[in-house]
């Protein structure tokens, strides 16, 4: 896993080079809906923060009822065999212009417009291929405006630094990691939580500001035993968010360990990708520290097998 994740800067470049030979009529698109699960869906969560039109991520068997011919429907599934995503796509494909991002599988054979990405990885480790072709497609349609060169530059020029920080964070976590972020960093906090769950096989939680200041904050009255807080911050964050984080740090530090991380980079997108990559690496170092093989996701696979037996016997 570490070797695959270390190649992230190269993967981003390769992913940006993936061509697609279909056309979507931009004038008709009024909203974007992306269906996916787990390591595939998180790519859309992150991108949703940069969209100039309504953007909805669905992790379910059914697409939202508002989809129509003005919706660009994207189904993203690394394997192409995830039942929720297939179900959503089946219900949406007659109604909307659509694109599928996958390595193949059933989904790959169901769609006309396919962005085919390289196979042989764990979905969560293939984030470059799940995120950047979607970002490129949406940018080519004028739905977002992202600086890809800056991301590549930032990732390439900070390799050692990212690895150092990740090692330090992975080594510094005591108990349960609880990750906090605002805006797109809220989605990155979710990614961190998922990576601690799947790579380090441990519980973790994520919270988004300012919402968590209206509920989770109060939990600290009851203490913070066995928790390490990770704040995903940006120097450029707005004053109100800075004030909230500062208040949280003072309160939480009395009861738990608080790690504050700042991302370099000119654009919010680059900073988000930077924080994401630090978290990906940190979760693998955490797995190493726990003596755990980060790669297999045995329980997820077991459940998928049980469900596929179930549908075979009931059909
Ligand atoms: C496994 C992983 C999972 C999968 C999820 C959906 O590495 O990240 O969260 O992404 O089970 O499967 P796919 O991505 O194949 O649709």
> How far, rounded to the nearest angstrom, does the alpha carbon of residue 98 sit from its chain's CA centroid?
21
Mean pLDDT value across the chain: 96
pLDDT at 310: 83
CA dihedral 25, 147, 119, 304 (to 10 degrees): -80
pLDDT band of 140, cuts 50, 70, 90: very high
Separation CA 176–CA 225 (nearest Å): 9
The average pLDDT across 189-209 equals 98
pLDDT in tens, 228-279: 999 999 999 999 999 999 999 999 999 999 999 999 999 999 999 999 999 9
pLDDT band of 290, cuts 50, 70, 90: very high
Atom of ligand 1 nearest to the CA of 300: 11
210 cis-preceded (ω within 30 degrees of 0): yes
pLDDT at 313: 67
CA gyration radius, the chain: 20
Q: Is the pLDDT of residue 62 over 70?
A: yes
Closest residue CA from atom 1 of ligand 1: 123
**Are the C-beta atoms of residues 87 and 61 closer than 8 Å to each other?**
yes
With the most atoms of ligand 1 within 8 angstroms of its CB, the residue from 5, 42, 124 to mutate is: 124
pLDDT in tens, 71-95: 999 999 999 999 999 999 999 999 9
Q: DSSP state, 125?
A: G
- CA of residue 21 to ligand 1 center, whole Å: 26
Specify the long-range contacts of residues 24-27, CB closer than 8 Å, at least 24 apart.
24/72, 24/97, 24/99, 24/113, 24/137, 24/141, 25/97, 26/141, 26/142
Separation CA 158–CA 164 (nearest Å): 10
pLDDT at 180: 99
Q: In this structure, how many other beta carbons lie within 10 angstroms of the beta carbon of residue 200?
A: 23
pLDDT at 68: 98
pLDDT band of 314, cuts 50, 70, 90: low
- CA of residue 10 to ligand 1 center, whole Å: 22
Residues with CB under 6 A from ligand 1: 37-40, 77-79, 82, 85, 122-124, 198, 297, 300
Q: Is residue 214 annotated as a catalytic residue, yes or no?
A: yes
pLDDT band of 5, cuts 50, 70, 90: very high
**Are the C-beta atoms of residues 55 and 46 closer than 8 Å to each other?**
no
Separation CA 293–CA 114 (nearest Å): 33
Secondary structure class of 212 (helix, strand, coil): helix
Q: Is residue 310 annotated as a catalytic residue, yes or no?
A: no
Set 198, 234, 237, 288: catalytic member:
198
pLDDT band of 204, cuts 50, 70, 90: very high
**Are the C-beta atoms of residues 70 and 46 closer than 8 Å to each other?**
no
Helix pair 127-140, 8-16: axis angle to 10 deg: 40
CA dihedral 53, 133, 184, 273 (to 10 degrees): -150
Q: Is residue 198 annotated as a catalytic residue, yes or no?
A: yes
Where are the strands (E) in 80-234, listed by range?
98-102, 114-116, 176-182, 205-209, 227-233
């Amino acid at each position: 896993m570490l070797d695959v994740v270390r190649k992230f800067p190269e993967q981003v470049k390769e992913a940006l080079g993936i061509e697609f030979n279909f056309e979507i009529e931009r004038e008709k698109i009024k909203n974007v809906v992306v269906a996916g699960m787990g390591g595939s869906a998180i790519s859309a969560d992150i991108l949703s923060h940069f969209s100039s039109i309504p953007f909805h991520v669905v992790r379910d068997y059914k697409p939202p009822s508002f989809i129509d011919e003005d919706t660009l429907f994207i189904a993203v599934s690394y394997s192409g065999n995830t039942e929720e995503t297939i179900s959503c796509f089946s219900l949406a494909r007659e109604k909307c212009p659509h694109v599928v991002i996958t390595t193949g599988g059933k989904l790959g054979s169901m769609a006309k417009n396919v962005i085919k990405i390289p196979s042989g990885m764990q979905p969560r480790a293939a984030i470059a291929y799940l995120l950047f072709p979607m970002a490129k497609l949406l940018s080519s349609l004028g739905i977002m405006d992202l600086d890809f060169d800056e991301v590549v530059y930032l990732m390439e020029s900070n390799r050692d630094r990212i690895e150092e920080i990740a090692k330090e964070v992975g080594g510094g976590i005591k108990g349960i990691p609880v990750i906090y972020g605002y805006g797109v960093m809220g989605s990155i906090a979710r990614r961190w939580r998922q990576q601690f769950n799947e790579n380090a096989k441990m519980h973790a939680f994520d919270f988004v500001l300012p919402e968590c200041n209206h509920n989770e904050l109060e939990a600290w009255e009851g203490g913070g035993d066995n928790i390490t807080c990770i704040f995903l911050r940006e120097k450029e964050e707005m004053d109100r968010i800075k004030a909230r984080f500062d208040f949280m740090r003072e309160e939480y530090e009395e009861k738990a360990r608080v790690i504050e991380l700042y991302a370099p980079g000119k654009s919010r997108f680059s900073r988000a990708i930077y924080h994401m990559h630090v978290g990906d690496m940190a979760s693998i170092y955490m797995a190493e520290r726990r003596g755990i093989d980060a790669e297999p996701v045995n329980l997820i696979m077991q459940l998928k097998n049980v469900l596929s037996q179930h549908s075979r016997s009931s059909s």
